[in-house]
Chains A and B, each alone.
Chain A
Amino acid sequence: DQQVKQNSPSLSVQEGRISILNCDYTNSMFDYFLWYKKYPAEGPTFLISISSIKDKNEDGRFTVFLNKSAKHLSLHIVPSQPGDSAVYFCAAKEGGSQGNLIFGKGTKLSVKP
């Protein structure tokens, strides 16, 4: 049973527009959430994280929103650039857990020039 779900396998966006990647989770014990970007033949690259005490965290073009009541988080990329084309993984961790990140299956983002 998937605890972290990314229901959109792919997303296509025009350059300069906003990309919104969504993630849902089922485990109410999760209290730290991360987004990773992965290019082919490379490992996941950490992008941004948010703890459950916040509802928004921003870093440059990337903003993560957390809605605890809906068990939903999203990653906004504004403006989207062709170099953002990659697979984006949502990951979550339980409070007090010793390192176990639970990943979603990923969403492939394509940003078209």
Chain B
Amino acid sequence: DTEVTQTPKHLVMGMTNKKSLKCEQHMGHRAMYWYKQKAKKPPELMFVYSYEKLSINESVPSRFSPECPNSSLLNLHLHALQPEDSALYLCASSQGEGWDQPQHFGDGTRLSIL
């Protein structure tokens, strides 16, 4: 069982819809991450939050908007997505951003854009 919980597990949306992906962890971790994984590719980092502040945005288009309401929750708001945004979106957390902190992943949300 993963200690990082992501909802929903699957999401199908049209290009004009607005939806949100949610991630929750109760391990007391202070760093949280969003990754995107396309089929047969490795995960690629999108955003990093450290102590509830955005510390890294890997040049992600503005149609993806992250939010960290508190230390346990991380959201990813989606608006006007494109078909190429269809992918598995993974959330991860770690104790901190320190160099020797392993990241623990949720099971992901599989997103399909029609």
Is there contact, CB below 8 Å, between A101 and B97?
A: no
* CA distance in complex: A41, B40 (Å): 13
The bracket for how many chain A residues form the interface is 20 to 34
B66 within 8 A of A: no
Distance from A38 Cβ to chain B, minimum over Cβ atoms (Å)? 9
A43 within 8 A of B: yes
A99-B55, A99-B94 known; A46 vs B103 contact (CB < 8 Å): yes
- The chain B residue with its CB closest to the CB of A38 is B105
* CA distance in complex: A34, B104 (Å): 11
Is there contact, CB below 8 Å, between B99 and A31?
A: yes
A residues 14-47 near B (Cβ < 8 Å) are: 31-32, 34, 36, 41-46
* CA distance in complex: A45, B2 (Å): 8
The listed residue with most A CB atoms (<10 A of its CB), out of B90, B102, B107, is B102
Is there contact, CB below 8 Å, between B42 and A43?
A: no
* CA distance in complex: A91, B103 (Å): 11
* CA distance in complex: A67, B84 (Å): 38
- The chain B residue with its CB closest to the CB of A42 is B107
B residues 52-94 near A (Cβ < 8 Å) are: 55-56, 58, 90, 92, 94
New A-B contacts (14) at CB < 8 Å, excluding given A42-B2, A99-B31, A100-B48: A43-B92, A43-B105, A43-B106, A43-B107, A43-B108, A44-B43, A49-B100, A49-B102, A98-B48, A99-B97, A101-B43, A101-B103, A105-B42, A106-B42
Can you name 20 A-B residue pairings with CB atoms under 8 Å? A4-B42, A31-B99, A34-B103, A42-B2, A43-B2, A43-B106, A45-B105, A49-B100, A49-B102, A51-B99, A51-B100, A93-B99, A95-B99, A97-B99, A98-B48, A98-B50, A98-B55, A98-B56, A99-B103, A103-B42
Q: List residues of A whose CB falls within 8 A of some B CB.
A: 4, 31-32, 34, 36, 41-46, 49, 51, 89, 93, 95-101, 103-106
